[in-house]
Amino acid sequence: MHFLVPMMLLWALPVVAAIVALYLFRLRRQDRRISSLMLWGQALREMQANAPFRRLRFNWLMVLQILAAIALVLALARPFRTVPGVSGRCVAVVIDASASMRATDVRPSRFDRAKAEAARLIDGLGRGDDMCLVVAGAPTRVAAPLTSDKSVLRAALGSVIATDCPARADEAVRLALSLIRGRTGGRVVVLSDGGFPELSAAGDVSTISFVRIGESDDNVGIMALDTRPGPDGRPLLLASVRNFSRVKRDCDLELRADDKLVDVQQFSLPARQEVSRVFSAPRGAARIAARLDIEDALAADNEAHLLLGAAKQASGVLLTRGNLFLQKALAIDPGISFVRSAAPEALSLRPSDVYVLDRLCPDKLPPRAGLMFVGVANAQAPVEVLGTVDKPQVTGWDRDHPITCWVDFSDLNIERAQKVALRDWGKPLVYARDTPLVVAGERDGARAIYVAWDLIDSDFVLRVGFPIFIGNCMRWLAGDSAGVSMANLRTGEVLALSPGIERGSVDVVLPGGDRTALPVRDAMATLRLERVGVYAAQAGKYRAVAAANLLDARESDIAPRDALVIGGKQVASVGQRPRRTEEYWRWAVLAVLGLFTLEWLAYHRRI
């Protein structure tokens, strides 16, 4: 038994002593005249004595009063015990659903252990307490909103599954903190192995409890699998394998080309060391699979897949003197890697798939590249600049075009725009009374987009639709480069499919052989790659293949962390199972009342 205010226990001695003293020195008694004391005989001699300390005899009333006083002192000392659960009236439980949580060092897996722990927290939820479930996977999502309905929470918990994706703990913790913000007794419980970088402080760190899941660091994983052309025309494969455990491990790496075993190499991996090897793949092989033959805790990083001949990531150049909004918006699409430059002459040194020309424009640009002109135009633009127009008002836009769909241009405030005339291959997408504002066109296989105003001179960059608009532009300009038909991706990334149909569905074969149908909206279907393996999509004549690999050293390093680092502060683990203090002073108060009732009964029954 523990006490929150143990000093209160010191009162027990003087209180008990006072009660005993009252019995010893209780001199004021009610006088009753009786005929004779003789009949009371020995009984009276037992009960009376002139010396105070000889007068104290066993008395149930005194015993009950002492017990009641002790119970009262115990209640004031606020006894408590620790029970499974977390303290707090409003609890946000963050469940790490990343790849490392699929480790089986705890049975059946870390993720199942985390779910069991979350179930225990749900069971221990007090009356009137609220709880929500936040899944830290890819993406972060709220599995159950704040509710006190345990059945809702259990159902939501049952639907949570682990993925092979990297963790997005920072987003999840921020989301959890925002959910409990302003709530009395708010607390965030993170059920994780802690395998993620330092989190940013977005709230009261003291309200965060970290429950460490996991026991072992026994893992060996593939960290890299890439290819380049060999001197003999055969593709060379580079494979890196790393031992994350603290003991030396030996393993075999099997290489399969188009499901045929082509090589097996033995790896002897010192503790926490990485070894790379180069292989030769058969000429004409399309699909390479590397698999580690080892018994370790995490299986997701024991295999990697590589599609030979898949398009590389599209490249782009942003020519600008500085536009932070545009830079951020361009960084959203993982399919295109942009390089920023302020020198137009440098474009010739860096051939790219897409060029974004923000108020800077060389006279001549590479042919067949996707071009986006922002507040500037040359001969390759779909417009011809005539002059300027002040404060143009948007009168309409094409809501069905892939560039302008999902974007709201109404009430757009533009300080000044170029007044242009359309070339014959240009198509106005957004237009004002006197001039088109956004024009797109395609000529000789080259696509170009023209935006008539300087983005900084409008409030468009502050709108939600701005990054959508930029994403639409990049996807349209990159064409087949971004809407891949064959791609090597990481788990957690989104596979965007352009099946060439406006509506319908795309059949996808998932790793493991399961099938799913992706709905197509506006000629596009998306799928988040949650499992390591090869995804095959088909819609009519359309075919697309993507390989998803973990290849994340932070996820493969499954050693459970003892603390989270949030905003520079350490949040130590509360152990495998969180415990909370449960006070039971109410029982002591009930005992006091019960003892006083007994004392009252004893007094009136003359016990």
Residues that bind another protein (CB under 8 A): 26, 29-44, 46-48, 55, 59-61, 603-607
Of 3 and 23, nearer to another protein (C-beta) is 23
Give the residue among 99, 122, 94, 121 at the shortest CA–CA distance from 110: 99
* Least distance between another protein and beta carbon 606 (Å): 5
Whether the Cβ atoms of residue 513 and residue 544 lie closer than 8 Å to each other: no
Identity of residue 300: A
Whether the Cβ atoms of residue 189 and residue 578 lie closer than 8 Å to each other: yes
Of 21 and 47, nearer to another protein (C-beta) is 47
Of 228 and 606, nearer to another protein (C-beta) is 606
Of 1 and 34, nearer to another protein (C-beta) is 34
Whether the Cβ atoms of residue 528 and residue 509 lie closer than 8 Å to each other: no
What span, in angstroms and rounded, lies between the C-alpha atoms of 128 and 149?
9
- In terms of DSSP H, where are the helices of 479-569? 553-556
- In terms of DSSP H, where are the helices of 433-487? 465-478
* Least distance between another protein and beta carbon 20 (Å): 14
* Least distance between another protein and beta carbon 26 (Å): 6
Phi then psi for 120, rounded to 5 degrees? -65, -40
* Least distance between another protein and beta carbon 24 (Å): 12
Three-state SS at 360:
coil
Provide the 8-state DSSP code for 234.
Answer: S
Distance from first CA to last CA of the chain, Å, rounded?
Answer: 33
Task: Give Cα 312 to chain centroid, integer Å.
Answer: 28
* Least distance between another protein and beta carbon 34 (Å): 5
* Least distance between another protein and beta carbon 61 (Å): 8
What span, in angstroms and rounded, lies between the C-alpha atoms of 139 and 130?
24
* Least distance between another protein and beta carbon 62 (Å): 9
What is the rounded (10 degree) CA torsion for 296, 300, 304, 307?
170
* Least distance between another protein and beta carbon 54 (Å): 12
Count the neighbouring beta carbons within 10 Å of the beta carbon of residue 266.
10
Element (H, E) at 287: strand 287-293
* Least distance between another protein and beta carbon 31 (Å): 5
Instruction: Give whole-number Cα distances, 462 to 323, 350, 413, 560, in Å.
Output: 13, 31, 11, 41
Residue 150, token pair as written in the block: 């345990």
Of 23 and 325, nearer to another protein (C-beta) is 23
Whether the Cβ atoms of residue 164 and residue 300 lie closer than 8 Å to each other: yes
Of 48 and 276, nearer to another protein (C-beta) is 48
Sheet holding 220-229, edge to edge: 220-229, 235-243, 274-280
Three-state SS at 447:
strand
Q: How many CA atoms lie within 13 A of 196 on its CB side?
A: 28
Q: Give the β-pairing of 436-443 and 426-432.
A: antiparallel
* Least distance between another protein and beta carbon 21 (Å): 15
Whether the Cβ atoms of residue 131 and residue 121 lie closer than 8 Å to each other: yes
Provide the 8-state DSSP code for 206.
Answer: G
Of 45 and 521, nearer to another protein (C-beta) is 45
Of 28 and 107, nearer to another protein (C-beta) is 28
What span, in angstroms and rounded, lies between the C-alpha atoms of 543 and 539?
7
Give the residue among 82, 174, 94, 185 at the shortest CA–CA distance from 137: 94
Provide the 8-state DSSP code for 239.
Answer: E
Of 57 and 543, nearer to another protein (C-beta) is 57
* Least distance between another protein and beta carbon 84 (Å): 48
Task: Give Cα 509 to chain centroid, integer Å.
Answer: 26
Identity of residue 179: L
* DSSP string covering 429-498: EEEESSSEEEEEEEETTEEEEEE-B-GGGBSGGGSTHHHHHHHHHHHHHHGGGTS-SEEEEETT-EEEE-
Phi then psi for 386, rounded to 5 degrees? -110, -30
